[in-house]
Structure 1
Amino acid sequence: MTTDKNFLIDFLDAQSTCISSLSKNVDQISQIVKILISARNSNKIIFTLGNGGSGSTASHFVSDLLKTALTKNQKRFKAISLVDNIPVILAWSNDVSYDEIFSEQLKNHLSKGDVVLAFSGSGRSKNIIKALKFAKKNGAICIGMTGSSGGLINNVCDVCIKIPSSDMLTIESQHLTLCHCITNAIRHKGKPVFKYE
């Protein structure tokens, strides 16, 4: 029987292994940074979405884009988290379907050249897939972050990073690490407005 201490060590080792493996995705990470900076410079909107813990990552990343990623003498990001307007989500969910909560919001806002960034551990969430398909059909750039299987997200996105794990907590932790990596890369390309020490 595994002791609590060994269990904790195993979990932390799994995080370390995943982070180390992400260096293999450096080209994809760099591509995402370029896409986001291009969207910023072209006044395009970046939309994020996800369910559960992935939803909180979507909200967190928008917070980082709107403040932490600010650099001097550069335009500001235009970013919207589709998980943050609870009344709108409840209305679409109650009156139509939970599967439509993100795609219907995109119908209000999305323009050609905008970016849609989806977080999904399984890569199979219907509301995520529907939103990505709508976005792709209407000329958006689609980015996905998912788990080892990739699910259906891998087939819809222009860029998709798959965390080499099937453990949801590990996947979600690594998605947030990727977001912070991307935010730091954006800050590194200019003079950050805010310094964090």
Structure 2
Amino acid sequence: MQELILNYAAKLSGALAMDAMQQVPVLATALREAWVEGRSVFLCGNGGSAGNAIHLANDMLYGVGINNRTGGMSIEALSANPAVLTCLANDIGYDQIYSEQLRAKAKAGDILIVLSGSGNSPNVVKALETANRIGMETFAIVAFDGGRCKEIAQYPLHFDIDDMQIAEDLQLVIGHMCMQWLYANPAKPVSPQVVSGAMQ
């Protein structure tokens, strides 16, 4: 077990030193601009990545705004509603569970963040294709060879690693980095006098 711990830590540390990390400020800045302008953010993924999408949506909805009482951003994990997912999967196909939601909810200027290990799952690929057609800003956090998502996302964060667990860890690490930066750089700063008055 100790050898596994050391190897895992080394692999994660090595991934965090990859060039893909240079795109994290681009993602964070895009998120803040969307927050300032009232645009929406959508996340999606499969399996552990679907869970990570829900986790990060929670962080951005609430956590980034508690610093100044302005509230978080308009953000949704497309993987969060099982009724919607099973309806779409049953009626029009599992490959369209995210693209159909975007078609109904998203607009030009909104942001899509795809979380994927392989980057090849048809439903996230179709989500990116639909988002690009709508005129959204599209990001993909991917591993292995990046797959189709690396090719079609406007801003791919590609980590060239062959480890699904490390890939999923990186999704949360990047999301949490963005969250902490947004928390420290809110969309609508509140003056100390306003905060003081709100506390009385």
TM-score (norm 2): 0.88
RMSD across aligned C-alpha pairs, in angstroms? 1.9
Preserved CA contact (<8 Å) 2:144 2:163 = no
Preserved CA contact (<8 Å) 1:40 1:75 = no
Cα separation, 1, equivalents of 2:108 and 2:101: 15
- For structure 2, the residue ranges without an aligned partner over 5 or more in a row are 196-200
Cα separation, 1, equivalents of 2:25 and 2:4: 34
Cα separation, 2, equivalents of 1:176 and 1:154: 18
Q: Does 1:5 align with 2:2?
A: yes
| Amino acid paired to 1:5 | Q
Q: What does residue range 1-197 of structure 1 map to in structure 2 within 5 Å?
A: 4-19=1-16, 21-22=17-18, 24-70=19-65, 71-72=67-68, 74=70, 76-190=72-186
| Amino acid paired to 1:176 | L
Cα separation, 1, equivalents of 2:21 and 2:14: 16
TM-score (norm 1): 0.89
Preserved CA contact (<8 Å) 2:140 2:149 = yes
Cα separation, 2, equivalents of 1:179 and 1:92: 27
Matched residue of 1:17: which SS?
helix
Preserved CA contact (<8 Å) 2:107 2:134 = yes
Matched residue of 1:170: which SS?
helix
Q: CA shift at 1:73, angstroms?
A: 6.7
Preserved CA contact (<8 Å) 1:50 1:120 = yes
Cα separation, 2, equivalents of 1:134 and 1:52: 21
| Alignment: residue pair count | 188
Q: CA shift at 1:76, angstroms?
A: 3.4
Cα separation, 2, equivalents of 1:26 and 1:122: 18
Q: CA shift at 1:165, angstroms?
A: 1.0
| Amino acid paired to 1:150 | G
Matched residue of 2:147: which SS?
coil
- For structure 1, the residue ranges without an aligned partner over 5 or more in a row are none
Task: Indicate how the Cα distance of structure 1 residues 6 and 27 shifts in structure 2: closer, same or farther if over 3 A, else same.
Answer: closer
Matched residue of 1:121: which SS?
coil
Cα separation, 2, equivalents of 1:9 and 1:86: 38
Preserved CA contact (<8 Å) 1:99 1:126 = yes
Task: Indicate how the Cα distance of structure 1 residues 162 and 26 shifts in structure 2: closer, same or farther if over 3 A, else same.
Answer: closer
Partner of 2:198: none
Preserved CA contact (<8 Å) 1:106 1:131 = yes
Preserved CA contact (<8 Å) 1:41 1:75 = no
Provide the identity percentage: 25
Cα separation, 2, equivalents of 1:142 and 1:66: 19
